[in-house]
Structure 1
Amino acid sequence: MALFIAGCFLNTANEVLRDTWKQQPEHKGQLYTGGFFKYSRHINYFGDLMCVTAYALITSNGYAVSIPLFLFCFFTFYNAPKLDEYLSSKYGAAFKHYAKITKMLIPYVY
C-alpha cells in the first residue's frame, strides 16, 4: 500500500507543483526542473509505474504484472522519447542541458 501511495504522491504532487510554478508570469516560457523533476525528467510516469506495480503486488495476479511491464515499455520506448523530442524543440538548449544531467524515468538509475 505504501508503494501505491508514494506513486500517487509523486504523480499528483509534482504536477501540482509544476502547474503552480508555470502559472507565475515570470516563469512564462521556461522549463520547469524543480520538485522531483530534478531527479527524473518524467517523474510523473515513474509515479504511475509505482502505482500499477503496487496494484500487481496487492492483487497477486499474474496478469496484473503485465501492466507495469507494458507501461514501462510504453513510457521508455514511446511516450518519454516523444515528449523529450517536443520539449527539446520547445526549450532548446535548456532542455538539452536538463536531459544531459537528469535521468529519464527512474531517479538515479535510468
Structure 2
Amino acid sequence: MPDIFTGTRVLRYFIEVASQGSFRRAAISLGIQESSVSRAIRNLEDQIGASLFIRHSGGITLTLAGQRFLDRVRDALDQLEAGAREAAAIGQPERAHLKVGVFSVAACGAI
C-alpha cells in the first residue's frame, strides 16, 4: 500500500533498512539513492534524539532503542493502514443490487 501520510515515508525507510540490514540494500529495494535513505534515517535519529542503528563495515545493527522503535512503528503503520482501509470502505457508496422476481401460480381447476 502506498504511503497514506507523507510522514510515513521515512518510517518505511527505517523498516526497510532494519529488514535489509544495510542502507545500500534498502535503497535498492526502495528504488532510491542510498544517500537519500541515509539522510532520512539520520534526520529521524536527530528528531527522536537516539541512535537507531549501529553502523559498521558489514552493514547495520539495531540499537535497543532502534528495536523498540521498530516494534512500535510496525504496529502504528498497521493501525494507520487498517484505519485508511476502513475509512475508504465506509466512504464508498454501497453497491446494492435489487433483484426483482416474478412468478405466477397457475390454478389447476376451480376453487
* Structure with greater strand share of residues: 2
> TM-score of the superposition, structure 1-length normalised?
0.34
> TM-score of the superposition, structure 2-length normalised?
0.34
* Structure with greater helix share of residues: 1
